[in-house]
Structure 1
Amino acid sequence: MITSGLQHVAAMYAGVVAVPLVIGAAAQLGPADTTLLMAASLFTAGIATLLQTLGIWKVGARLPFVNGVSFGGVAAMTAIIAAEGGESGLPVIFGSVIVAGLLAFVVSSWFCKLVRFFPPVVTGSVITLIGLSLMPVAFGWIADGAGGADGAPAGNIGLAAVALVITLAVRRYARGFLQSIAILFGLVSGTLIAVPLGMADFSGLGEAGLVGFPTPFHFGAPQFSLPAIVSMCVVMLVIMMESTADMIALGRIVDKPADEKVIAAGLRADALGSAVAPVFNGFAASAFAQNVGLVAMSKVRSRYVVAVGGGILVLLGLCPVAAALVSAVPLPVLGGVGLVLFGTIAVSGIQTLVQAGLDKGENALIVAVTLGVGLAPEMAHGFYERFPDSATTILDSGISTGCILAVLLNLLFNHMGARKEASPPPDGGATVPHQAAAAPLH
């Protein structure tokens, strides 16, 4: 159980710590505060995973279901930070996540009945948009703040390329457990190579203790801003869509079909985990679909094995030095590995779009407009600068805008008086799950 639980942790570890790294860099936090964010993310991911696997009352799918920090909220959170200015944006993020999590908890019982409005054309568009929107983050890491008119330093590009090649080589030639931790292996190897080059900084290790409990509201009491709350509620909508798809897929893998009751309980665990996470400086929680694939590959279907993995995550979150080790990874190394991580998200969205049948009706048009509008903030920085601040908080999160647009366009073309010969079959949410084995590395 411990070995299999560790394998689940290894498969998701890089994804869990990547989000606080992005947010920490956007908020210009120092190494100590970034380490605190990572420890909090590990701790809250463990709590959410225990909720899902063991369950309390009507909370938790009671499936081998791993939860962690969602990449879906990164664009929205960086937009909030940009609007509020650096570290002062964190309390606003935490306040909006708390409200969005509580609202999601309330509507979970009804949301599972609305899955038909989120067919593969919607979920695929949103997941693809998430991956593409995060690509600039990876290139920013490679530039390490030295980009601009002169471009990224050659040394940074070389180090990123080495980390990328190592990750790909391990994935291609390794087998079993080592293959499943290719991303983690790339991060470690790239960091070791950076040490003799003087490109790794381990000064943060001296400030991190061996044991430490996440300080509640370390960055201040939560603040509640309506535009930020609306933006994060849209993110929670995306999270619930992904989790629903993964639960149905996982139910098939373990021969325990996920009916409406199971889905509603799983969504409550997502929502409750998200609402509690900000208390300990964590972010919104969602399913880690790569672990769904790991269950299918390993054929170890016990939910108690995944619960052990959740317990390990909690212990890692209580060990700040473990998070400090990750914060010592040079940004160019993170950038090289991030290309794989974020690219995989985009590819999983494309795989979902293949199921959508882009030759049916106006599905191709829905995808085209969703991606075009959703990528506007990344492709043209400052595009919405002349809009009021309350609007830019939402609009600058292309994922939030794209998700709303995808749902509305799907309703327009495939539900409201759609032509019978042009309409896609009523594939609803039940067809989404086939994506899950290769779904986003959140």
Structure 2
Amino acid sequence: MLPPGRLLASGLQHVAASYAGVVAPPLVLGAAVGLSPRDLTFLVGAALFTAGIATLLQTLGLWRIGARMPFVNGVSFAGVAPMIAIVDAQGGDRTRALPVIFGGVIVAGVLGFVLAPYFCRLVRFFPPIVSGTVITLIGITLLPVSFGWIQGSRPERPTPITNLALAAATLVIVLVLRRVLRGFLQQIAILLGLVAGTLIAIPAGAVDFAATRQAGLVGFPTPFHFGGPEFQLSAIISMCILMLVCMTESTADMLALGVIVGRPADERTIAAGLRADTLSSAVSPLFNGFANSAFAQNIGLVAITRVRSRFTVAACGAMFIVLGLSPVFASLIAVVPQPVLGGAGIVLFGTVAASGVKVLLGAGLEKADNLLIAATSLGMGMIPVVSRTFYDNTAIPESLKIILDSGVSAGCLTAVVLNLVFNHFGRRRGEGEGAAEAGAGEPSVTATH
């Protein structure tokens, strides 16, 4: 537990790193449904409120629920595509989609909670060759998010020079602060860089305070504001598939964070973390929220700052709840321009990818089979990163597209299957056990040091 001042500053840094990820899915979904600005603001506040509850449950824990690791939980962006598909299926009255989505999320959350103690046993299929590949993919797949922030809301147009300048200035400031500062100030270099970048953006006219002037001081996410949950079979199936994808990504994220904090995630930790994910997902629709999962954005922040206290992220969760209950405070965080976030994101997400490379270096890549596993899995994971429409005009079932459109899920499943084929079923007589151990069995503790 850090002193109060450092605890709040570190927690605020996590808020800054994950705020955009929390509010992006409800913004996109609200626009697809056609919500009024008032209802859209309400939906964003609900997402912040439920993310705060999920984060507190994940970090502080309750009974066997919560990994008790510095993890931020929030709305999974993987759910945007299937939820928009549910919206489109409603025909003319698109506002009916939200109760249908809420019903599907409730059922999926309950199913995931029941499956958590069994799903966690998959950790044995995540040796260093698999976990290193997945951690690398987490960082690589997040980098385009940062680039999108820099491009702005009109990516089809040339990126404005102002956006590039703000992103570059923020990136340079963060790097300089990390180099010259010491102690606690060095740990909050990301936060200081975001503040400095925002101040630079004010005279450039890139900061919009309109949301702050229009926001109310207090606003509680009224339960079932958009109507009681409706249970449609197609929506339930879609959300259950989404929940399995979220559980896969959360498992990979917990393994990645375990490496960074020096506490490898075992089956018990992963089961507790998945229970927090799924229980918060089942409860979120009560307050107009969606499926929650672990946020990979904050893994890079933990790696850079080396502040491994779970209470800093718990403070972040408490701040999310306050932001969800007070739209005017939430709007203060929202004034940070996206190009500024993008400049800092290059450091955050690049650090995650570098951590994965570090694990791969100890995973026995000198063995040709392991090199092939990593190469193929990275290639499969990169397909949706470099071409978001790659699977759109194919005959692949929609349920499978949900998995393939997530670079982390596609690469993770590829790595697991290839590891089984090459290091278990395909192992030949006479191969050295040392080489085989690099790609099989429990996650190697040595690789985390």
Q: Which amino acid aligns with 1:380?
A: S
Q: Which amino acid aligns with 1:2?
A: P
Aligned: 1:77 with 2:79: yes
Aligned: 1:418 with 2:427: yes
Assess, with a 3 A threshold, how the Cα gap between structure 1 residues 331 and 59 changes in structure 2: closer, same or farther: closer
Aligned: 1:431 with 2:444: yes
Instruction: Report SS of the residue matched to 1:431.
Output: coil
Residues 176-212 of structure 1, C-alpha deviation per residue, up to 9 Å, x if partnerless?
3332222222222222222222221111112322222
Contact 2:162 2:204 in 1 (8 A): no
Residues 240-259 of structure 1, C-alpha deviation per residue, up to 9 Å, x if partnerless?
24325645876x66xxx976
Instruction: Report SS of the residue matched to 2:362.
Output: helix
The CA distance in 2 between the partners of 1:311 and 1:289, in whole Å, is: 19
The CA deviation at 1:4 is 4.5
Q: Which amino acid aligns with 1:125?
A: T
Q: Which amino acid aligns with 2:134?
A: V
Contact 1:97 1:275 in 2 (8 A): yes
CA RMSD between the two structures: 3.7
The CA deviation at 1:312 is 4.3
Q: Which residue of 2 aligns with 1:387?
A: 394
Aligned: 1:143 with 2:130: no
The CA distance in 2 between the partners of 1:370 and 1:6, in whole Å, is: 39
Q: Which amino acid aligns with 1:114?
A: L
Residues 80-115 of structure 1, C-alpha deviation per residue, up to 9 Å, x if partnerless?
366567998877776665455433322332344432
Q: Which residue of 1 aligns with 2:241?
A: 230
Q: Which residue of 2 aligns with 1:184?
A: 191
Contact 2:26 2:44 in 1 (8 A): no
Q: Which residue of 1 aligns with 2:63?
A: 57
Unaligned runs of 5+ in 1: 438-442
User: Which of 162, 172, 195 pairs up with 2:202?
Assistant: 195
Q: Which residue of 2 aligns with 1:284?
A: 292
Instruction: Report SS of the residue matched to 1:415.
Output: helix
Q: Which residue of 1 aligns with 2:409?
A: 400
Please say which of residues 25-34 and 190-199 is displaced more in the overlay.
25-34
Instruction: Report SS of the residue matched to 2:72.
Output: strand
Q: How does 1:88-107 map to 2 (within 5 A)?
A: 98-107=106-115
Unaligned runs of 5+ in 2: 89-93
The CA distance in 1 between the partners of 2:145 and 2:60, in whole Å, is: 35
The CA distance in 1 between the partners of 2:439 and 2:155, in whole Å, is: 48
Assess, with a 3 A threshold, how the Cα gap between structure 1 residues 364 and 197 changes in structure 2: closer, same or farther: same
Q: Which residue of 1 aligns with 2:344?
A: 337
The CA distance in 1 between the partners of 2:109 and 2:158, in whole Å, is: 40
Q: TM-score scaled to structure 1, two decimals?
A: 0.80
Contact 2:30 2:43 in 1 (8 A): no
Aligned: 1:134 with 2:138: no
How many aligned residue pairs are there? 424
Contact 1:142 1:331 in 2 (8 A): yes
The CA deviation at 1:239 is 0.4
Identity of aligned residues (%): 47
The CA distance in 2 between the partners of 1:177 and 1:11, in whole Å, is: 12
Q: TM-score scaled to structure 2, two decimals?
A: 0.79
Contact 1:377 1:396 in 2 (8 A): yes
Assess, with a 3 A threshold, how the Cα gap between structure 1 residues 10 and 358 changes in structure 2: closer, same or farther: farther
The CA distance in 2 between the partners of 1:68 and 1:211, in whole Å, is: 24
